[in-house]
Amino acid sequence: MPFSNYFNFIGSKVPYWFYVSGNGIANKQMPSQSEIEKQISEWLEEEISDCIPNIESTDMIFEGNPSVTTSITDNSVNLEIYFPLKVTKGESTSIIEKHSTSVKTKFGSLYSDAKKIFDSENTELFLEEYSIDFLNLYVPTTKFELSCAPKIWQVSEVENNLKDALSANVPMIKFKGSYYSLSKP
């Protein structure tokens, strides 16, 4: 789907932050952190509701509908689940109103870094500049040569050379930070 606004990853739609629509218009759709938190909350509320029949018993009864609040930090995703649980044991009954958990993950930090890279790319166009360098090095564009025979080049060969060069070099791009160490300054 060359003009889609999402990538189909094992049946899940992963939205592109930047895409070109079928009519050639460039679009951005980077989700905010609050949008991601809201989507996680909505997904979890649905998943919890689907699990209730599997975990309820005569001793444990959930009351009402679940309400989830999600907060993403650099090193964790914190969840507050408001879903009263009535637990009965013999003559005693207790109600647990809120359930909390924290998942240790660098998702927030990765999102923050990705947002910085995306914003920087949109203002400085560093990836385009990098790609132009590769076009000049790996595609027959400006090289001048005098000869009696016509110069012929295969589009597929040039395309493969460019793809190989980009796939070998783009992963080597480093951004300012402390997530790597240089062998030489």
Choosing from 48, 71, 106, the residue where a domain stops is: 106
How much is the pLDDT for 16?
86
Rounded to whole angstroms, the Cα distance separating 15 from 21 reads 13
Residues 101-112 have a mean pLDDT of 94
- Give the DSSP letter of residue 180: -
Same domain? For 41 and 100 the reply is yes
Identify the residue with better confidence: 134 or 82: 82
Non-local (6+) Cβ contacts of 174 within 8 A are 180
Residues 136-158 have a mean pLDDT of 74
Report the run of H or E that residue 86 belongs to, with start and end. strand 76-89
**Does residue 78 lie within any of the structural domains?**
yes
Same domain? For 40 and 95 the reply is yes
Split into its structural domains, the chain has a count of 3
Cα–Cα distance list, 128 to 33, 93, 134, 135 (Å): 27, 65, 10, 10
**Does residue 45 lie within any of the structural domains?**
yes
Considering 3-7, 67-71, 145-149, the range whose residues carry the highest mean pLDDT is 67-71
How much is the pLDDT for 86?
85
Biggest distance spanned by C-alpha atoms of the chain: 101
Percent of all residues in the chain with a pLDDT value above 90, rounded to a whole number: 25
Contact 54, 75 (CB under 8 A): no
**Does residue 83 lie within any of the structural domains?**
yes
Helix, strand, coil % (nearest 5) of the chain?
A: 40, 25, 35
Rounded to whole angstroms, the Cα distance separating 46 from 66 reads 8
Non-local (6+) Cβ contacts of 8 within 8 A are 1, 14
Percent of all residues in the chain with a pLDDT value above 70, rounded to a whole number: 91
Same domain? For 155 and 141 the reply is yes
| pLDDT of 57 above 90 | no
Choosing from 106, 136, 156, the residue where a domain stops is: 106
Same domain? For 93 and 43 the reply is yes
Same domain? For 38 and 100 the reply is yes
Report pLDDT digits (tens) over 159-183.
888 888 888 887 777 777 767 777 8
How much is the pLDDT for 53?
64
Same domain? For 9 and 49 the reply is no
Six token digits for residue 5: 């606004």
Sign, CA dihedral 85-89-93-96, equals negative
| pLDDT of 55 above 70 | no
**Does residue 111 lie within any of the structural domains?**
no
Non-local (6+) Cβ contacts of 49 within 8 A are 65, 66
Residue 8 is part of which domain span?
1-30
Same domain? For 102 and 37 the reply is yes
How much is the pLDDT for 115?
92
| pLDDT of 185 above 80 | no
